[in-house]
Amino acid sequence: MSLVPAQISDLVALGAPILCLDTCTILDVVRDITRETVRLADAKAGLDLLHAAESKSGLVVLMAEQIGIELAVHLQEVQQEAEDKLAKFHGQAQRIHDVASAFGATGVMSTAHLHGHVGRARLVLDRWTAAAMRVPDNPGVAGRALARVNAPRTPARKGKDSIKDCVIVEAYLEAAQQLRTAGLSAPIVFASSNTKEYYAPSTTHLPADFAADLGMVSMSYAPNFGAAKFMLGL
């Protein structure tokens, strides 16, 4: 059982929408902001969702136990990469400014306000983990995750070690089933920016097997915080 009866009763009584987070989506909070896929709208939507979760009434965030394990392994590496890429950007910006100035450009160029960004982003990530309700693993989840790998069913692929992703998916599917069975009608959204694993190849839509799995518990899939906010009705 992913959620205990008391948690289920409380969540159904609250009636708030449910956001199930994937590891990559949480790591995106601190990930390199110079990458081209970063969108201001998604960053703002993420902050709005976090505020709603911290209000204890507007949104419930679920975090599978496996995600905590993955954060412990990958967070420092992702944070250091973000620091390195931002430092590289500072150097590039200064070099561009210096060359342009040599050709007669005038004006002051400063990126000083970006210093400390990664540290501030890490504080936001820590708020996400503090606001989330943990969804523990259990033998049933582990067994269904292994079956998903062996089938294979999305996000599993032949020749790929997908067990960790499948554990996360099965934990959320079980929690969603518990909540739906108990009468929750509010939106439930699984947010994962790992579209390579969750979209059908060369498309922007879910493969039939995963769409069917989510449909069984009336759960939606969001590739980013912006889409999640819309689907949650917030």
Q: Give residue-wise pLDDT tens across range 131-182.
A: 999 999 999 999 999 999 999 999 998 888 889 999 999 999 999 999 999 9
Q: Give residue-wise pLDDT tens across range 36-53.
A: 999 999 999 999 999 999
| Nearest to 226, CA basis, from 2, 92, 47, 91 | 47
Query: pTM value?
Result: 0.94
Terminal-residue alpha carbon distance, the chain: 29
Please name the residues in contact with 101: beta carbons below 8 A apart, sequence gap of 6 or more. Answer: none
Domain ranges (residues) in the chain: 5-87+119-232
Task: Give the Cα separation of 188 and 172 in Å (integer).
Answer: 10
Fold of 5-87+119-232: Rossmann fold (3.40.50)
pLDDT at residue 73 is higher than 80: yes
Token pair, residue 225, equals 């915080």
Tokens 């960053």 sit on residue? 43
Task: Give the Cα separation of 145 and 155 in Å (integer).
Answer: 10
Q: Average per-residue pLDDT in the chain?
A: 96
Helix orientation angle between 163-181 and 65-102, rounded to the nearest 10 degrees: 120
Q: Give residue-wise pLDDT tens across range 8-17.
A: 999 999 999 9
Question: How many Cβ atoms sit within 10 Å of the Cβ of residue 220?
Answer: 17
